[in-house]
Amino acid sequence: MTSKTTVKLLLASGLASLMLMSPALAENMLRVSYSEDPKTADGQMTTDAYTLPLNIFDRLVESETTGPGESALVPGLAETWDVSEDGLTYTFHLRQGVKFHDGAVLTADDVVYTFDRMLNPATKALNTDILTFIAGAEDRLDGTADSVSGLKALDDHTVQITLAQPYAAFLALLAAPGASIYNRAFTEAAGDQFGLTPETTNGTGPFILRDYTLNDSQMLEANEDYWRGRPKLDRLLVRVVSDSETLRMLFESDEIDVLDLDYAPTQTPYFYGSDQWKDQIRSGPRVGIYYYNINQLKKPFDDVRVRKAFQIAIDRQTILDKNFYGKGKLEDGVIPRGLTCYAPAEPIEYNPAKARELLAEAGYPDGVEINLQQVSSWSTKWSDMNQIIQAQVAEAGFKANIVTTDEAAFLDARKAGEAEAYTQVWSADFNDPDNFFYTFFSESGSKTRGYNNDDPEVFAGIEKARGMVDQEERCKLYQDLTARIVGEDAAWVPLFSLDHSYVVQPRVKNFVVPWNGWSDMNYFNVEVE
Amino acid sequence: MLMFALRRILVSIPVLIGITLILFIMLNVVPGDPVALMMKEHASPEVIERVRAQMHLDDPLVVRYLSFLWNALQGDLGNSIKLNRPVTDLLLKAFPNTLMLAVCAALVSWVIGIPAGILSAVRRDSLLDRFFMGFSLLGVSMPVFWSALLLQYVFAMQLKLLPVSGFYGWEYMVLPAIVLGWSSAGVSARLTRSSLLEVMRHDYIRTARAKGLRETGVITRHALKNALIPVVTIMAIQVSGLLSGAVITEAIFSIPGVGRITVNAISSRDMPLLQGAVLFATVLVILGNLVADILYSVLDPRIRSQMKKDA
């Protein structure tokens, strides 16, 4: 071999490996990452990984980000819709000429099929909550009916959905990733394999699933015939990177385009302080609230004075500043800013002296012992928070022990009504207060989430608000409920809402933090240079 | 030999059944509802209960164990609860990645470990010996997550010679293989060294030297042949260990292998998947030991004759 050929060969192999290592250089591809495998593209079968459903499928209505932390419901596969005066009947007029990735044309029957599939017990769907308000849904779920009486295709392009009782948040729910629309013929043929491989996945969305390697990556390709127009990206590479340090290195060596700081929270000061990266940070409010859960079945939290004392013994601003680098805002109500019906609630003061007095009043002049729970598999941010709260509430006379168990044991204890106080965050699944109030303070929610705030008046209020049509009145009711739950009963300890920050490579354009602050998002509008 | 292998395989069947039984009991004694864990906070309890029933998780323990055993005998390890895919498929798809990592790591381990061990023994107490032993001590004692980060930082971030993490071509294999190989190279090197030193003290080595053989001949033809017997045994066991999943290495380098599946299965209480993964690992360890025994007999005639007697 001559030296010239050797050089040529070396050059060629170098180029080939360069192409392999940074395929983004070769084409218009965005590379993002998540910490866990999404398991499936089928939104009916997942409750926590929505990137594939959001990009491969469309829904009847979509919730679009209109500003930082703000959203609006906009037409999706349904071009228009009418709601009857009693709030029971929804008629959706479908967009014409929408095609699935396999070329099939969307019809009203596909919509009926999709929702019936979710409620069909044979599907074993996980997101049935979205549709249980439809008339006949419970019978279908129980196996006592073969179809859902409230679902009808009036003609090829009109779907009518009748609810069992009015539910104000129904439209917002239909924008959830779990309500993605499928094609009957294709999905029936794919059976239980639907959404698990590129060959068994078919939607109407902006991207087509081309490759899926479990625990490694998914490759999506632009849908040339997308009804809203072809996406700006040719490809979207979604990688699974579970180690946060690896993630940072991948980003800094330009192998990933978007770094979600949720997956590498300890790197926040580094990126905010870096001259190279600080202008590349995209941050937005998160419609989610950090809170402390207190179980009223556990002494001493059965006494409202002790709960009130705990509420005001926590210096929330310090936690926000020290643990979260000040990237967020204090919250005083049940729902966080950004959500429909949000209104500032009565501010909760930080007053350890007053907390001590309240404890004395409750019969604990020398302080009282409490347990703070944490779960070993959760992020270290929770244990960091518990430690700082442990020190803070000590000033008010709480002798807090930190108890650590694994998640399974924690869930079991909570189910049995024996959960210790714990801190967590709740992000909006859909833009409606019901998502927060019903989850935590309805008759079933209060018990299963471990609050045990047995307040019939609150239960009735939450049920009433679900069916109210007048939005202004409804919001007013939620504000009254907030005053009762947080103010009078001190059943909920709101902490703060955090911003969600991402660092993006300079080549990434039009990256908008989703209204709800999710990590999962639709990449239709994102561009790379 | 064949009889010996057959007997060993037959003996391992009760071991396998015992392991599935112990695992099954353990998984059901520790608290934790796989469905609640899978669906996380955002699912309502009604839905969790319904899904539990649909997955037959409410059936009595004995019924579930027997049906698992019956299906396993027919090659069906069931469906993963969390990933909703057949366990056999998941393991078979992940195995080639683990196999590739294990083979590369084993090669690194042997290519570095054995020559280092030989050189150390031959030049005992020299600077070279100290260097190799220090190097291997470092490999054994440094946790893989630390050496992984160190190598990623130097070779991927600073020198930009290799990719940080992923699994898209041979260059992605280099760092994980070195990380994993380094830690077992230490074992191979120290074992080779001590075993060779031991052999060198024997009379037949003195005889060989007395016959006037050159030192290289003495070492390669006489000493090494005997000294490598324990090393080969350890090698076979090392490979089966590597194959059952290099959990941390796979996680740091984002390699979709058996180790990651197993860890995910543990944290999500995904019983069918965990059972499958443990069964798989058990089979590999049993096979690794069997291969070690057979290699042993090939290398050592004394053992071969013992086997004939036993058979």
Joined tokens for residue A410: 């924690």
Residues of B in contact with A408 (CB under 8 A): 30-33, 36-37, 269
Residue A252 CB neighbours (<10 A): 20
For a pLDDT cut of 90, what percent of chain A falls above it? Answer: 70
Per-position DSSP letters for A163-216, written without gaps between them? BSS--TTHHHHHTSGGG----HHHHHHHGGGTTTSGGG---SSSEEEEEEETTT
Q: Answer whether B39's CB lies under 8 Å from B55's CB.
A: no
Cα dist from A125 to A46, A120, A141, A333, B142, whole Å: 8, 8, 10, 33, 46
Query: A21 falls in which pLDDT band (50, 70, 90)?
Result: very low
Query: SS3 letters for A464-525?
Result: HHHHCCCHHHHHHHHHHHHHHHHHHCCCEEEEEEEEEEEEECCCEECCCCCCCCCCCCCCCC
Interface predicted TM-score (ipTM) of this complex, two decimals: 0.74
A430-439 residue pLDDT tens: 889 999 999 9
Three-class DSSP category at B6: helix
d(CA A158, CA B233): 71
Dist. CA A170–CA A466, nearest whole Å: 10
pLDDT average, residue stretch A257-269: 89
Interface probe for B, chosen from A21, A424, A426 (most Cβ of B below 10 Å), is A21
Q: Annotate A386-420 with b (16+ C-beta within 10 A) or e (fewer).
A: bebbbebbeebbbebeebebbbbbbbbbbbeeebb
- A-B interface: how many C-beta pairs under 8 angstroms? 131
Q: Tokens for A231? A: 């996406």
Helix (H) or strand (E) holding A90: strand A89-94
pLDDT class of A293 with cuts at 50, 70, 90: very high
A49 at B interface, C-beta within 8 A: no
Q: How many CA atoms lie within 13 Å of A217's alpha carbon, on the beta-carbon side?
A: 20
pLDDT exceeds 60 at position A2: no
CA A109 centroid distance within chain: 29
CB contact under 8 A, B169 and A214: no
Average pLDDT of the segment spanning A45-71: 92
What are the tokens at A188? 């029936």
What is the spatial distance between Cα A150 and Cα A190, in angstroms, rounded to a whole number? 26
| A411 has a chain B CB within 8 A of its CB | yes
Sign of CA dihedral B289, B294, B297, B300: negative
Does B307 score more than 80 pLDDT?
no
Residue A462 pLDDT exceeds 90 = yes
Confidence of residue A24 (pLDDT cuts 50, 70, 90): very low
**Residue A114 class from Cβ within 10 Å (0-12 exposed, 13-18 middle, 19+ buried)?**
buried
Burial zone of A312 (CB within 10 Å; 0-12 exposed, 13-18 middle, 19+ buried): buried
Spatial distance between the Cα atoms of A168 and A431, rounded to a whole number of angstroms: 11
Q: Is residue A496 within 8 Å of residue A328, measured between CB atoms?
A: yes
Average pLDDT, chain A: 90
- Residue A499's DSSP bridge partners are A285
User: Residue A255 is nearest to which of B93, B163, B256, comparing CB atoms?
Assistant: B163
* Phi, psi for A333 (deg, rounded to 5): -115, -160
Mean local confidence (pLDDT), A141-153: 94
Q: Which two three-digit tokens encode residue A90? A: 């929804």
Nearest-angstrom CA–CA distance, A503 and B25 = 46
Is pLDDT of A23 > 60? no
pTM metric for this prediction:
0.81
CA B286 to chain A, closest CA, distance in angstroms equals 27
pLDDT at B219: 85
Closest CA to B275 of B11, B25, B32: B25
**How far, in Å, CA of A202 to CA of A225, rounded?**
13
Question: Poorest-confidence range of A172-186, A498-512, B149-163, B225-239?
Answer: B225-239
